[in-house]
Amino acid sequence: MNLFDLTGRTALVTGSSMGIGRALAHGLADAGARIVMNARDADRLEEAAADLRNRGATVDTLAFDVTDAEAVQAAVNAYEDTRPIDILINNAGMQHRGPLEDFDVSAFDRLMRTNVNSAFYVGQSVAKHMIPRGEGRIINIASVQSALARPGIAPYTASKGAITNLTKGMATDWARHGLNCNAIAPGYFDTPLNAALVADPAFSDWLEKRTPAGRWGKVEELVGAAIFLSAPASTFVNGQTIFVDGGITASL
């Protein structure tokens, strides 16, 4: 199935030492890609990279803070001196819960820098190399909260709505240069970011009733969409957000 073959391609996955990013790194490696794993914590990053290498994958690491524009640019430029980055998955993100009327201003700023600014910083740095080559894939990780809201996470909802529209903007500006820019919007997945909710029986009961599929998602179930958007199968797909959510956005 050459339409889904990533052999010979190099994929940078931000925030890939755990959770969704780590699962996507594993999935793209299984499809043949060389993986560049990123995180701030160098020790945790090396542990994750070693695990993936033990499965036979070719893995490089870039430890940098995605919220630091200068560090992002330096890391991307240095890596591009050795080989091209063909695929970028902007996965790094955070959550902070609290009533909007009491939400700490510094927490809001930190959340927006992590969830939105980082996608711009890394996306722009990588795109500057992709554009002269006339091709490249950028996949931003949005959320079911790009379309829906629930109490206590208004800033997170705002950040993921921004990611969806940033994705449209990237496609609008960069499609003419051969770049495909899309997003994946996960529903409720069992990840470290959702650990508090997974551990809450009342929330899990609500979620299972609210989601047509009747359960939490498994991070491996995001891999297919990521491979599709990274591979030749999606050459005319641009500016789209694919919801992988067990049907939650389709049902009242």
Under 8 Å CB-to-CB from 17, ≥6 apart: which residues? 37, 39, 41, 44, 45, 47, 48
Indicate if 121 belongs to the active site: no
Under 8 Å CB-to-CB from 53, ≥6 apart: which residues? 59
Helices 118-133, 69-80: crossing angle, 10 deg rounding: 30
Q: Give CA–CA dist 38/88, Å, rounded.
A: 11
Q: Is 94 helix (H, G, I), strand (E, B) or coil?
A: coil
DSSP conformation letters of 212-224: TT-S-B-GGGGHH
Alpha-carbon distances of 16 from 1, 62, 191, 251, rounded to whole Å = 26, 10, 12, 31
Q: Among the options 79, 121, 156, 188, which is catalytic?
A: 156
Which residues form the catalytic set? 156
